[in-house]
């Protein structure tokens, strides 16, 4: 890698000082030159001042580079042009000022390089900078970066390196020994000889066309070619000759391989997998589906399969095609029930964010209060496994100073034991048969939204409603249940600040700083806060909006299911949450449903009920969705909440009208 090289770039002149004859500009190294090489600006090793040459001629110095700043996009330089030395230097100065010479070329020696994948080019990550030259290149910088990257055949100016004894690459008029870079169709290498031949022929046509353009310009202007045009034409001509040689060799190789070709062995495709692979061709991916839609398709296919008594794979194939993800899911194994508890079917998909079940769960989570913890800057709840005893310290002991020979006092520690059992939250969503059979994306969204709505409301209400008490082995208590609320002091901005102080005071009194505190409130309460302004018209609480934000430096979660007048401050790290991320779904069209959010039916003690509706009679399908989840406070001081909040509402008039 001791070969001397050069790389062209356009000179952007930023300032010219006539008296001192200095040029301040940016010499940007090219991304890739004609040889496919890349010169990394930050890999430059140099010592100032550097010689400034004219057209890379060692015997034609015109000044010095006195300052060079290396950046990722290039090397910013300050150069001086000698004054009153030779007529050639004066002419060079005039040409640079007039922007007739706009090119810079870095003369360097590669020290460290790596191969660029998919090409014959190299990326120079470390290189020794010898000199900088002002060069003439056309406005098209890509066309002007030629394969001639050598210095003048004489000694490199001021480099201190003797002329190499080995044969050097020829100049612009000679043949380039560097390979012609082709764009690979298949990654890093051409797959077949035919593809290589096609690529070479396309490259040859492009280069001969460019040669015609170069010559036509001088013909149209009625003049001979200039130095830059000659250099470009000769370089292109050399590359065309190289391509012709390679085409001849490749065609000879192709012909030779034809004599040694072997016939295809009969019965090579002997398995279903090989046959499917042979037929598969190229899979074209459609647009990415909205989150949760794949789960809705799963429920839809299972329902139609049961209704029409058709194999689930056939339903999936008819609705979505053999190349669809939903068909591939059912093609793994046909089983009768959709349950995450079945390890051979849905169980394999639980916990994988790319799976059908996890896709629905991940879509549902941000719509619930629970799901917003741990996202978008909101602290996460303390995640724990099911059925594992959790030991927490409720009070600490005390240490004592003890004199010599004195008895050591005893101390007492109090602990609590919590065990989160898996509890199910479930609901049934009903859709009509017409919606189920509708293949439009909007119909699938209806199924998805119905399944989500069946779970979202119950989770939010039971998590935050202070009136929700625990039901043994059925449902957990609200995190606010059993905690005394703090009455709100009013609806003005000062009252809001007093209320916030009261909330924080509850944590201070318990010596439990809310380091992972989160406010939970209604969206209308957050909206009222955002609309409160001071006498100057500025927002009293600028960090909050109706969608959340921050209040007193802590994040805010809003939900339509927070009870009226409730604002809670929750220390997230003090709330246990057990959630395996699974979901069960099943369907029926023969059942009779009690259309009530508080059904009285009981399989243990049958009771009469009203409002029974037959799914078969109404041509409807019921989807039952279940999630396994549980939560609990780690300690009583984990939460504090306000009651009777009416922030931002107008004052009630005194007296009566």
Same-domain pairing of 545 and 632: yes
Asked if residue 41 lies in contact with residue 72, where contact means CB atoms within 8 angstroms, the answer is yes
Q: What share of the chain is helix, strand, coil (3-state, %, to 5)?
A: 30, 25, 45
Q: Model confidence at 11, in pLDDT bands (50, 70, 90)?
A: low
Highest mean pLDDT out of 267-281, 367-381, 564-578: 564-578
pLDDT of residue 143: 29
Same-domain pairing of 434 and 552: yes
3-state secondary structure of 524: helix
In a domain, 652, yes or no: no
518 closest CA partner among 539, 544, 495: 544
**pLDDT greater than 80 at residue 286:** no
Final residue of a domain: which of 111, 129, 144?
144
453 closest CA partner among 292, 616, 305: 292
pLDDT of residue 173: 41
In a domain, 523, yes or no: yes
Same-domain pairing of 348 and 475: no
The Cα–Cα gap between 457 and 480 comes to 17
The Cα–Cα gap between 363 and 357 comes to 10
Same-domain pairing of 447 and 571: yes
Q: Model confidence at 304, in pLDDT bands (50, 70, 90)?
A: confident
Average pLDDT on 107-122 reads 77
**pLDDT greater than 70 at residue 175:** no
Same-domain pairing of 567 and 428: yes
The Cα–Cα gap between 412 and 398 comes to 8
The Cα–Cα gap between 353 and 343 comes to 17
pLDDT of residue 459: 86
Angle CA 465–579–328, to nearest 5: 125
Tokens representing residue 309 in the block: 């008594």
Compute the Cα dihedral for 171, 175, 178, 180 and give only its sign: positive
pLDDT tens profile 323-361:
777 777 666 544 334 344 443 333 433 333 345 555 555
Same-domain pairing of 431 and 558: yes
Decide which of 457 and 595 is more confident: 457
CA atoms within 13 A on the CB side of 461: 10
The Cα–Cα gap between 7 and 141 comes to 11
Decide which of 330 and 201 is more confident: 201
pLDDT of residue 563: 94
**pLDDT greater than 60 at residue 556:** yes
Give the pairing type, strands 75-81 and 103-115: unpaired
**pLDDT greater than 60 at residue 195:** yes
Q: Model confidence at 532, in pLDDT bands (50, 70, 90)?
A: very high
In a domain, 309, yes or no: yes
Highest mean pLDDT out of 3-12, 77-86, 539-548: 539-548
Least confident of 72-86, 163-177, 416-430: 163-177
In a domain, 188, yes or no: no
Same-domain pairing of 83 and 217: no
- E strands present in 102-162: 103-115, 122-135
Output the CA–CA distances (angstroms, integers) from residue 31 to 45, 101, 123, 292, 395, in the order listed. Answer: 19, 21, 10, 43, 66
pLDDT of residue 154: 43
In a domain, 284, yes or no: no
Same-domain pairing of 113 and 248: no
Least confident of 114-128, 426-440, 520-534, 600-614: 600-614
Same-domain pairing of 21 and 104: yes
Using a 10 angstrom Cβ sphere, with 0-12 exposed, 13-18 middle and 19 or more buried, the burial of residue 184 is middle
pLDDT of residue 350: 38
- The alpha carbon of 351 is separated from its chain's Cα centroid by a whole number of angstroms, namely 20
pLDDT of residue 149: 33
pLDDT tens profile 255-277:
887 777 666 566 666 666 666 55
Average pLDDT on 112-121 reads 74
**pLDDT greater than 80 at residue 299:** no
Q: Model confidence at 575, in pLDDT bands (50, 70, 90)?
A: very high
pLDDT of residue 370: 84
Decide which of 284 and 546 is more confident: 546
pLDDT tens profile 406-423:
887 776 666 667 778 888
Using a 10 angstrom Cβ sphere, with 0-12 exposed, 13-18 middle and 19 or more buried, the burial of residue 32 is middle
**pLDDT greater than 60 at residue 4:** no
pLDDT of residue 618: 74
In a domain, 274, yes or no: no
Output the CA–CA distances (angstroms, integers) from residue 453 to 298, 354, 520, in the order listed. Answer: 17, 22, 20
Least confident of 247-261, 272-286, 434-448, 471-485: 272-286
pLDDT of residue 589: 66
Query: How many other C-beta atoms can be found within 10 angstroms of the C-beta atom of residue 446?
Result: 18
In a domain, 430, yes or no: yes
Containing domain of residue 321, as a range? 293-353
Output the CA–CA distances (angstroms, integers) from residue 79 to 48, 108, 134, 596, in the order listed. Answer: 11, 18, 11, 85
pLDDT of residue 36: 63
In a domain, 96, yes or no: yes
Query: How many other C-beta atoms can be found within 10 angstroms of the C-beta atom of residue 457?
Result: 16
The Cα–Cα gap between 87 and 109 comes to 31
Same-domain pairing of 557 and 475: yes
35 closest CA partner among 192, 149, 112, 190: 149
146 closest CA partner among 230, 255, 271, 241: 230
The Cα–Cα gap between 122 and 114 comes to 5
Find the farthest-apart pair of alpha carbons in the chain and give their distance in angstroms, rounded: 116
Same-domain pairing of 14 and 118: yes
pLDDT of residue 528: 94
Angle CA 83–87–91, to nearest 5: 85
pLDDT of residue 167: 46
Same-domain pairing of 312 and 461: no
Final residue of a domain: which of 353, 380, 403?
353
585 closest CA partner among 318, 422, 359: 359
Highest mean pLDDT out of 335-339, 346-350, 457-461, 494-498: 494-498
Final residue of a domain: which of 353, 373, 396?
353
Average pLDDT on 490-511 reads 93
Least confident of 15-19, 137-141, 177-181, 381-385: 137-141
Computed over every residue of the chain, the mean pLDDT equals: 75
Q: Model confidence at 319, in pLDDT bands (50, 70, 90)?
A: confident
Number of domains composing the chain: 4
Residue ranges of alpha helices (H) inside 161-226 are 193-220
**pLDDT greater than 90 at residue 362:** no
Give 177-180's long-range contacts (Cβ < 8 A, gap of 24+): 178/35, 178/120, 178/147, 179/120, 179/242, 180/239, 180/242, 180/243, 180/246
**pLDDT greater than 60 at residue 221:** yes
Decide which of 623 and 133 is more confident: 133
Work out the percent of the chain whose per-residue pLDDT is above 90: 18
pLDDT of residue 180: 58
Classify 472 in phi/psi space as left (phi over 0), alpha (psi -120 to 50) or beta.
beta
The Cα–Cα gap between 547 and 556 comes to 9
């Amino acid at each position: 890698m001791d070969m001397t090289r050069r790389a062209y770039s356009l000179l952007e002149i930023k300032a010219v000082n006539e008296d001192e004859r200095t040029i301040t500009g940016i010499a940007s190294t090219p991304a890739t030159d004609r040889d496919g090489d890349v010169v990394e600006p930050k890999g430059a090793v140099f010592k100032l001042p550097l010689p400034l040459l004219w057209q890379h001629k060692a015997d034609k110095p015109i000044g010095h580079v006195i300052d060079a700043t290396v950046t990722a996009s290039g090397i910013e330089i300050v150069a001086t042009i000698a004054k009153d030395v030779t007529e050639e230097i004066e002419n060079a100065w005039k040409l640079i000022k007039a922007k007739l010479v706009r090119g810079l070329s870095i003369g360097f020696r590669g020290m460290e390089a790596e191969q660029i994948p998919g090409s014959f080019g190299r990326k120079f990550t470390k290189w020794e900078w010898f000199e900088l030259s002002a060069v003439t290149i056309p406005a098209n910088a890509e066309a002007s970066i030629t394969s001639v990257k050598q210095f003048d055949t004489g000694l490199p100016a001021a480099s201190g390196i003797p002329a190499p004894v080995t044969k050097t690459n020829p100049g612009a008029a000679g043949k380039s020994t560097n390979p012609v870079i082709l764009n690979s169709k298949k990654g890093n290498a051409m797959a077949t000889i035919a593809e290589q031949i096609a690529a070479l022929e396309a490259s040859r046509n492009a280069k001969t066309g460019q040669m015609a353009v170069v010559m036509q310009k001088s013909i149209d202007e009625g003049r001979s070619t200039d130095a830059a045009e000659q250099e470009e034409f000769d370089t292109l001509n050399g590359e065309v000759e190289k391509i012709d040689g390679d085409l001849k060799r490749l065609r000879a190789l192709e012909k030779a391989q034809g004599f040694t070709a072997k016939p295809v062995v009969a019965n090579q495709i002997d398995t279903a997998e090989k046959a499917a692979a042979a037929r598969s061709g190229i899979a074209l991916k459609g647009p990415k589906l909205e989150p949760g839609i794949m789960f809705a398709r799963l429920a839809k296919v299972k329902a139609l399969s049961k209704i029409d008594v058709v194999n689930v794979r056939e339903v999936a194939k008819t609705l979505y095609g053999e190349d669809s993800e939903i068909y591939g899911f059912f093609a793994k194994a046909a089983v009768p029930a959709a349950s995450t508890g079945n390890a051979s079917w849905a169980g394999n998909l639980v916990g994988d964010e790319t799976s059908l079940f996890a896709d629905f769960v991940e879509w549902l989570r941000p719509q619930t209060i629970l799901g917003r913890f741990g996202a978008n800057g909101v602290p996460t709840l303390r995640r724990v496994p099911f059925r594992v005893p959790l030991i927490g310290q409720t009070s600490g002991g005390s240490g004592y100073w003890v004199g010599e020979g004195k008895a050591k006092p005893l101390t007492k520690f109090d602990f609590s034991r919590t065990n989160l059992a898996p509890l199910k939250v479930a609901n049934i969503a009903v859709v009509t048969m017409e919606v189920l059979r509708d293949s439009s994306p909007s119909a699938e969204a209806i199924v998805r939204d119905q399944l989500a709505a069946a779970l979202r409301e119950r989770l939010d209400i039971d998590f935050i409603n202070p009136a929700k008490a625990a039901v043994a082995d059925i449902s957990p208590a609200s995190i606010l249940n059993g905690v005394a609320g703090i009455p709100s002091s009013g609806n003005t901005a000062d009252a809001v600040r007093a209320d916030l102080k009261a909330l924080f005071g509850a944590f201070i009194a318990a010596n439990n700083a809310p380091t992972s505190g989160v406010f939970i409130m209604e969206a209308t309460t957050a909206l009222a806060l955002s609309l409160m302004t001071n006498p100057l018209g500025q927002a009293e609480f600028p960090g909050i909006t109706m969608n959340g934000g921050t209040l007193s430096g802590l994040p805010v979660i809003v939900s339509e299911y927070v009870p009226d007048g409730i604002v809670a401050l929750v220390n997230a790290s003090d709330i246990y949450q057990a959630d395996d991320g699974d979901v069960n779904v099943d369907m029926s069209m023969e059942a009779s449903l009690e259309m009530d959010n508080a059904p009285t039916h009981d399989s243990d003690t049958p009771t009469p009920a009203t409002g029974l509706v037959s799914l078969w009679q109404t041509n409807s399908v019921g989807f039952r969705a279940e999630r396994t989840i549980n939560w609990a406070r780690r300690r009583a001081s984990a939460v504090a909440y306000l009651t009777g909040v009416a922030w931002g509402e107008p004052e009630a008039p005194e007296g009566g009208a």
